[in-house]
Structures are given as C-alpha cells and as structure tokens.
Amino acid sequence: MCYSLSNNAIPYLIFKSNVHKAERQILFFARQHPGETISSHLMESLLKSLCKNSKILEKFEVICVPMLNVDGVIYGNFRTNLAGYDINRQWQNTDKWLNPEVHAMKKLLVKNPKIEFVLDLHGHSKKFNSFIYACKQ
C-alpha cells in the first residue's frame, strides 16, 4: 500500500473469487493502535475465514490491511506512529509526510468507489466483549 516513516512496507491483501467477478468491495484494517494486539488476532481469524469460505467472495472483493501502524508495532509504541501521532486521530487533517499510513488509506478509499463497507478492528482497554462505533449514515 505504502511505506512508513522508517521505510517499512505496509502491505495489503486482496481476496477475490476465481469464478465470480465482484462489483462491490469490503475493506478491513487493523493495528492503528499498536498496543491493541487483540486486533491482530481478529484479523488473523478473518484472514483464515476468507481462505476457507469463498461464499463472501462471490459477492464482494475483500481488501485487508493487517497492520496499518507498522512502525508503532515494530518500535513498541502503544498508540502512536514513529512521529508520535495517534494515527486514528489524523483522518481529518492528514499530513502526507508525518502520517503516510492514513494518507495512503484515504487514497485507497477515494480511489475505490466500489468499497461499500469498512471495518477498523481495535481492542479496547476498558470496554469488554464487543461494541461498535459507527457513522450515523
């Protein structure tokens, strides 16, 4: 997808059917906050499910970004990237040089009008079980 501040690749995977051509896309991404390791476990389960079950791929092409904040994970930050920014708070005013992860993700979203659903996987330190923050639309 792009490279981080310390030149680490931020990869993404695309799952699609060999038989059906999907006109719609779903985007999953994880590890905006490096310390929320549970999101990696969620992403791993999601990737395994996509490899086993092709039913969803009959209707959707699925894009997965397993680790958006690669630098934060590598260097042991809890919530920030290498520049010290919580990239989950940089979506509105994105600096291309200080937040290349968010800049690339926004470009991906704008370039793909077929994306119908986006799920950002997190783990919370005080909320247990499952919960959702969502747009009003």
How far is residue 119's CA from residue 134's CA, in Å, rounded to a whole number? 10
Task: Quote the pTM value.
Answer: 0.88
pLDDT 10s digits, 46-56: 999 988 877 88
Please report the pLDDT score of residue 137 as a whole number.
Answer: 64
| pLDDT reading at 128 higher than 80 | no
Give the 3-state secondary structure of residue 76: coil
The amino acid present at 117, given as its one-letter code, is F
Predicted pLDDT at 75: 96
From the list 49, 66, 56, 74, the residue with the least C-alpha distance to 17 is 56
What tens digit of pLDDT does each residue of 19-64 get? Answer: 888 889 999 999 999 999 989 999 999 999 988 877 889 899 999 9
Q: Which residue has the tokens 């905006």?
A: 32
Mean pLDDT score of the chain: 90
- Cα 72 to Cα 128: distance, rounded to the nearest angstrom: 24
